[in-house]
Chains A and B, each alone.
Chain A
Amino acid sequence: MKKKTKKEFFCYSYLKRYKVKAFLSPFFKGLETVTELFVPLIMARIIDYGISANDSRFIITNGILILVLNILGLLFAVISHKLAADISMNIGKDVRDDIFAHINDLSHAELDKFSTTTLLNRSVNDVRNIQNGIGSILRMIMRAPCLLIGSLVLSLFINIKLSLIFIVIIPVLILVIWRIMKILKPLLIKIKTHLDKTTNVTRENLTGVRVVRAFNKQAHETEKFKNANYDLISTQIKHAKWDALLAPLISTIINLATIALFYFGGIEVNAGDLTQGQLIAFIDYFATISVCILALANLVIIVNRLNASNDRINELFCVKNSIKDPANPVDVDFEDVNLGKVEFKDVNFSYSDMKNAVTDLSFTAEPGDIIGIIGGTGSGKSSITNLIPRFYDVSSGEILINDHNIKKYRVEDIRNIIGLVPQNPTLFTGTIRSNMCWRKPDATDEEIVKALKIAQAFDFVNEYPEFLDHKVNKGGKNFSGGQRQRLTIARALVGNPHIIILDDASSALDFATDAKLRKAIRTSLANATTFIVTQRTNSIRDATKIIVVDNGNIIDIGTHDELLERCQIYSEIHYSQNKKEAK
């Protein structure tokens, strides 16, 4: 049995913020329904009294009454729908705001649990389900049940015996709808799976077009696609079959019921227990009831979808930020040169329930030092640098900046000390300037230019006529990989960080540029401690200390020459990259 967790997120509770409107919208909808219910009754009276008594005035007054009821109905509906749209869209906005704020509050450890696509789906699609669902509920919650119950009650008033037909037919209708929907639901899921498969084959073939043609496999791939495609349409046709059955089945039931109505109605009228007009009203109510049942079935689907979305969003809110500011934080003096001093003491770290990513790491970096970290992918290199800005907290041991445990600082302050260049060079929509002001919102043009020069990005930026105001498209896609990488380096250097972390940040740069970049950092930011995570020994041969990592273990720490001498893995890496120097 699954343990029930407390709901952190419950979309209906947002209705509380709009109490009055949330009450009024269904209320007016109810009024609209009432006006609708009275129309057949009036019509019955017109037929029964008006026609038999030849009373034209009676017919006209009642006709005007029908018109008035119609206008009132429309008016009530407009009010109700306006309110419902207002509430549902505002709730959608509130929920999206809250989700985005929550995501921004989470630390890396929690974000790791969700992929970007998941987060996106939850904040876009699931919220849309919720906002549309709440809108539909507000509009339908009164209408369908009211019409259903109203029609039933009114028909009971008219004639109890004939109403029994309804009592028999309604469960049959519900059963038929429920049964078919139960068949349709898994088919829809299957269609989705097949559609994904078809998409996959298409994508595979577009990205791998060269391989497919190099191996002359076009016919084979077409066959593969045909199969996926065929599976898709067979399921779709199966779904369409059942779907096509629903409406005719319902109308058959209604038609059969109408025939029954005539049979019993004939007897009743003959006996004088029912009038002709009332019989017509019965037929009207019957049509209303069947429409209501369909609407209710729809409502059930909407509520189900809404609940599923609510659960998914709830899952997100149940995850809480684990990295918090301390109660009495140490203040940071950003002029202090010693902020570049970083010390690792017996640090161990593992991602949630996985094997150690960092094991027993201890070292000290003084301001101005270059610390190289080298190892293969998945060896735990980036894990070390992820600990310094407190993206993750250590499992045991401690990390000190300027002789204070980093947990003693405000999280914001630590990150202000650091200039980070991530592995994936990502820029944000805006201009070069807006991207350069990320570390220091009030950075001057001189500061930006200085950073661009160090990052070897000034030359190409200078060529743009708009210079710093040159547009950056989404993700920086209008720059080449190398340009993007240099811009992300410059972004981290604006406002002279005390600690610089280059996480495999020069992979897209050629050797000459990489060398120039490192030289510029050394001369222009002499007091900054630089961490260089890399796969190339040439990038770190002048480092103060090099940490060699493999499989989460610290293999050795030393200078380039020391490691060449004594560390087998390091020399292996080095000589495989520089064969000329071997032996």
Chain B
Amino acid sequence: MSDYKRLSSSDMRDNYTKKAHNRYHKNHGAISTLKKVFHYAREYRFYLYFALLMDIVNTVCIVFLPIYTGKCINCIVAPGNVNFTELYKNMLMMGIVAIIDVISIFTSKLCLSHYNYKGTFKIRDLLFEKFQKMPISYIDTSSHGDLISRMINDIDIMTDGFLEGLATALSGITTIIGTLIAMLMLNLKLSALIIILTPISLVVSYIIVKRSKKYVKREVDLQGEIAGYLEEYIGGERIVKAFNHEEESIDNFNKINGTYAKTATKSVFYTSLTNPSTRFVNGIVYGSVGLLGCVLAIQGEIMVGIITTFLTYANNFGTPFADISSQISDIQQAFAAANRVFNVLNEPNESSDEKQPDLLNCTGEVEIKNVNFSYVPKTTLIQNLNLSVKQGQKVAIVGPTGCGKSTIINLLMRFYDVNSGYITVSDTPIKEISRSSLRNKYGMVLQDTWLFNSTIRDNIAYGNPNAPIEDIIEAAKLAGIHDYIEKLPKKYDTEIIEGGSNLSQGEKQLICIARVMLLKPPMLILDEATSNIDTRTEKQVQEAFDRMMQGRTSFVVAHRLSTITSADIILVMNKGQIIEQGTHAELLKKKGFYANLYNSQFEKSNAS
């Protein structure tokens, strides 16, 4: 768990979540959302226009195909009564229309998917850039899983929903209009029958969707419950065994599982009814059109071929309605997903520093003057902090876990800006220089090491990708990790997998140190590990830290006594505030919080 996520006490966290909650649930109107989607994808709009054009062409084909089929049938009446010349003509027309049909469907689909995926690409890119530009406070207070889910799932749901929705709507509407016109031109009575019967299928599917929706929602909830239970108990399986808790956990599971099966049976049943019901309704339409058609044919009003034409039209006319209604929930989800994505995109960026000059000469003097800061407005955290650090001095920040030691780092690096007062580096206020030039002057090694999936070499050269291998090796030597890397089969080209799971915690930290050593920054921010480092590498890390700090102004979140006692200034923090400040000797004399903390470390339980 990162220290940086635990910003402060729990009530503050509540405050954050509430704020975050409001932020996440900001909803926009459907039209403005849609406008925004089109706006983001506007440079690809010609794909969309072309798709629309192709859909219209396709509709014309769909309308004409049954007409030619009907005409063919009309040419084939009875033995000796087959008009072959007319038949071949119609067959040829059918063939031509069929080919245009294929080409238009294919092109339309292709254009739409280009439109869709290019739009996805752009929105993902924008979202990622947003992550890079937004204030760190946003990322600190949001769940990373949630942000990732917006990046991956929500954008997928959004584009899928809009793509499918768009495709169905485009081709659906053109088909409905085209078929309608053709039907009315061919025969009014049959058209009227189809127009009257089609709503039945809509009503039927509406009833089914409504019924199944209720159960599907409960099914999804219960499924989440099952997955949650399994995650918790399979994850804690070793504890379950240690406490002989297997039977209880199985019993509980069987109960949830049973409830789920009951609900799921209903939801699956209702959902699976869609197909047979549609078939039923289609069957009725088919029967009715056939019957009326026959009656009309007897009366000589139409020819037999028209019946087939109309049977196809009945199908073509009804399908888009069913398709569109089946898409509605997807489209709703797409809107919700789009809103979640846009809400992040609408977040403000970090205040701009483009016009600010770079910090050029840095001697390593840091001055903190009358600084007030808190993460949450109207609460107090750091009050009137004053600190003057000369070049090459070592500042140790100490205090119990969760006391807010990282707040100081956040302010020094300008991850957060102070509320009032100012911080200067070499007499320049840090608010007046570019963030990048300020951060360049600091070398930072955090407790939760961050390595990315690439080679060791790339990881060390992160701050200077063009560094020659000699410099990289030199940095690794200074960090004391060179010998270790040399022992690996692929040496500096060893791939680091998944955040460095193939390295020990200590080794990871040494690589992070090498990364900083390569840049030789004038100032350092270090975060000593509390535990979970193996004792052997811990010694190496400590030595590397000591080497690094020589001659550099350093801020160390300290856990080890040696670091603390040798520091020039000790900042003692508790509950987010700096409560004491001074050297080791001064603070001991004071017999305050620090003295207590220091002494407790050596209390022997057998001595009392």
Contacts and interface: CB of A to CB of B under 8 A. Distances in A.
Contacts of B291: 46, 59-60, 63, 66
Nearest to B276: A77
Contacts of B113: 236-237, 240-241, 244
Contacts of B388: none
Interface stretch (B324-332, B486-494, B598-606): B598-606
Contact of B535 (A251, A507, A573): A573
Interface stretch (A6-14, A168-176, A214-222): A214-222
A329 B257 CA distance: 34
Q: Do most interface residues of chain A lie in helix, strand or loop, or is the interface mixed?
A: helix
A377 B505 contact: yes
Contacts of A422: 238-239, 242
A572 B273 contact: no
Interface in A404-439: 412, 415-416, 418, 420, 422, 426, 428-429, 438-439
15 contacts: A36-B279, A88-B268, A104-B249, A111-B237, A124-B226, A199-B152, A204-B453, A211-B462, A215-B439, A222-B129, A237-B113, A252-B102, A265-B76, A426-B236, A512-B600
Interface residues of A, number: 160
Contacts of B133: 218
B117 A576 contact: no
Interface in B85-130: 87, 90-91, 94-95, 98-99, 101-103, 105-106, 109-110, 113-114, 117-118, 120-121, 124-125, 128-129
Interface string A64-100: 0011011101100110011011101110110011001
A276 B76 contact: yes
A231 B77 CA distance: 58
Interface in A215-274: 215-218, 220-222, 225-226, 229-230, 232-233, 236-237, 240-241, 243-245, 247-249, 251-252, 255-256, 258-259, 262-263, 265-267, 269-272
The range of chain B's interface size is: 35 or more
B352 interface: no
B241 interface: yes
Interface in B420-462: 435-436, 439-440, 442, 444, 446, 448, 450, 452-453, 462
A248 B402 CA distance: 63
A255 to B, nearest CB: 4
A283 to B, nearest CB: 7
Interface string A102-128: 011101100100001001100110000
B272 A46 contact: no
A580 B290 CA distance: 101
Given A240-B109, A279-B76, A515-B603, A214 B231 contact: no
B80 interface: yes
A105 to B, nearest CB: 8
Nearest to A100: B253
B147 A206 contact: yes
A59 B272 contact: no
B308 A266 contact: no
Given A195-B152, A202-B131, A51 B535 contact: no
Contacts of B106: 244-245, 248
Given A375-B535, A418-B242, A199 B102 contact: no
Nearest to A125: B227
B29 interface: no
Given A39-B283, A67-B287, A259-B91, A576 B539 contact: yes
B276 A78 contact: yes
B541 to A, nearest CB: 10
Contacts of A276: 73, 76-78, 304
Contacts of A67: 284, 287
A420 B242 contact: yes
Interface stretch (B359-367, B372-380, B475-483, B525-533): B525-533
B240 interface: yes
A266 B444 contact: no
B386 interface: no
A270 B238 contact: no
Contacts of A270: 76, 79-82, 84
Interface string A562-573: 000000010011
Interface stretch (B31-39, B178-186, B333-341, B559-567): B559-567
Given A89-B265, A97-B257, A272-B79, A202 B152 contact: yes
A39 B152 contact: no
Contact of B286 (A39, A90, A375, A376): A39
B230 A124 contact: yes
B95 A266 contact: no
A414 B345 CA distance: 57
B600 A70 contact: no
A221 B452 CA distance: 11
Contacts, number: 431
A120 B238 CA distance: 15
A135 B129 CA distance: 45
Contacts of B276: 32, 73-74, 77-78, 81
A474 interface: yes
B287 A204 contact: no
Contacts of B279: 36, 73-74, 77
B450 A104 contact: no
Interface stretch (B192-200, B293-301, B549-557): B293-301
Contacts of B402: 480, 482
Contact of A198 (B91, B124, B565): B124
Contacts of A515: 600, 603-605
B315 to A, nearest CB: 9
Contacts of B436: 216
Interface string A529-562: 0000001101001100000000000000000000
Nearest to A509: B401
A522 B605 contact: yes
Nearest to A58: B294
A212 B132 contact: yes
Given A89-B261, A222-B128, A378-B534, A216 B539 contact: no
Nearest to B519: A215
A437 to B, nearest CB: 10
Contacts of B539: 572, 576
A262 B72 contact: yes
A192 B69 CA distance: 44
Contact of B415 (A88, A89, A198, A213): A213
B179 to A, nearest CB: 17
A5 interface: no
Given A81-B273, A111-B238, A203 B76 contact: no
A516 B125 CA distance: 53
A90 B263 CA distance: 11
A214 B308 CA distance: 72
A116 B235 contact: yes
A263 B91 contact: yes
B246 interface: yes
Contact of A203 (B65, B144, B295): B144
B571 interface: no
B4 interface: yes
A210 B4 contact: yes
A376 B10 CA distance: 33
Contacts of B228: 474
Given A104-B249, A259-B98, 19 more contacts: A47-B304, A81-B269, A100-B233, A111-B237, A116-B235, A124-B230, A201-B128, A210-B415, A240-B117, A248-B103, A262-B94, A266-B72, A280-B307, A480-B6, A507-B532, A510-B400, A512-B600, A541-B604, A577-B560
A89 B277 CA distance: 22
Contacts of A221: 132
